[in-house]
Amino acid sequence: MTQAEDEAFEAYVGDQLDAVERRLSAITLTAANPFLAEAAEHIIAAGGKRFRPMLVAVTSQLGPQPNDAAAQIAAVVVELTHVASLYHDDVMDDAALRRGVPSANAAYGNSTAIMVGDWLFARASNQVATLGNDFVRMQADTFAELVTGQIDEMRGPQPGHDAMLHYLNVVAGKTGALIRTSAVFGAMTSGASREVLDALAQFGMQIGVVFQLADDLMDIMSDDSGKAPGTDLREGVSTLPTLMLAASEDSDDDELKSLIAGDLADDDVLARTLAMLRANHVIEEARADIVKRAELARKQLDLLPDGAATRALSRLCDEVVSRSN
């Protein structure tokens, strides 16, 4: 019976995500001119994991009064917010690829990418207003966390501050906050109890951090992550493995440290550095840390009602971890 329930629930989530896709496409068509609609659709149409809308769909079944339409709107809000932040991030990072296609800034220029990101944020605000004040307030607070995380990343750790703690705070702001809100939004649409909402807030933040740690590891390990491998390395962006390497006192790591600290503009140098990092002990150490954090997130699920939705969240922990393998 449990397997049948889980399969039915998975089908339900799939149907909800299909509805979210239709809503996202419809929103881009509300743009005032065809060029804006095309530029807004550019990254949305490229697909992506839709991790945040999926979380909304799953947690929307954890309250006593599920509301599919409200859950779809909440899912649209978090995905629009996420995509808008990608438009801005790619400008700041001068990224060439996003989701396997040319980034918006590469396709349309920086100014257009910034303005389209602003338009998508505005559409998210329009949608969330239909859900009520509690949703609007949480969305506004989440947006502030996203911006704070981005600014903290741009500034880097200040003198005397721990680099690893700084990195984890950035991850919590830039990624964890919106994933936390996604988990909570879904449950809010179904009238879930405060106990459930609090547990989901903890779960969402923790699994959101795990999601980003795994994503950062993919930048090193995967040749099919939707962006050029080693992008973070080349740009000098700190990640869990590179910070672990920096803290290593093993003299065998000195050459790799020097390479990472040096100029990685040359493709051959970057390839050599990537190969050495992939073979280094910090990769397995980073994976172990990711697994540990995922288990801490899973413990929050003990506070949720038994059922297909909670089991789906438990499986999600495993799926997020598997991205780092």
Q: What is the pLDDT of residues 224-268, one digit of tens each?
A: 655 567 888 888 889 999 999 999 999 999 999 999 999 998 999
Q: What is the DSSP string of 68-117?
A: HHHHHHHHHHHHHHHHHHHHHHHHHHT-SEETTEE-HHHHH-HHHHHHHH
Please return the burial class of 213, using the count of CB atoms within 10 Å of its CB with bins 0-12, 13-18 and 19+: buried
Among 37-41, 120-124, 309-313, which stretch is predicted with the lowest mean pLDDT?
A: 37-41
Mean pLDDT of 143-148: 97
Which of 23, 51, 125, 35 is CA-nearest to residue 84? 125
Q: What is the C-alpha to C-alpha distance for residues 40 and 249, in angstroms, rounded to an integer?
A: 48
**Tokens, residue 151:** 């600014």
Q: Of 92, 154, 82, 162, which is closest to residue 124 (Cα–Cα)? A: 82
HSE-up of 223 (CA within 13 Å, CB side)? 4
Q: Helix or strand or coil: residue 147?
A: helix
Q: Which domain holds residue 257?
A: 2-322
Cα dihedral across residues 10, 14, 15, 16: positive or negative: positive
Q: Return the pLDDT at 55.
A: 98
What's the confidence (pLDDT) of residue 293?
98
Q: How far apart are CA 106 and CA 109, in angstroms?
A: 6
Question: pLDDT (tens digit, 9 = 90+) per residue, 54-68?
Answer: 999 999 999 999 999
Asked if residue 97 has pLDDT above 70, the reply is no
Q: How many domains does the chain have?
A: 1
The pTM assigned to this predicted structure is 0.93
**pLDDT above 90 (res 223):** no
Q: Is the CB of residue 63 less than 8 Å from the CB of residue 189?
A: yes
102 pairs with which residues across the strands? Answer: 97
User: Residue 177: which H helix or E strand, with range?
Assistant: helix 177-189
**What is the reported pLDDT for 99?**
66
- CATH code of the domain covering residue 31: 1.10.600.10
AA identity, residue 194: R
Which has the higher per-residue pLDDT, 271 or 228? Answer: 271
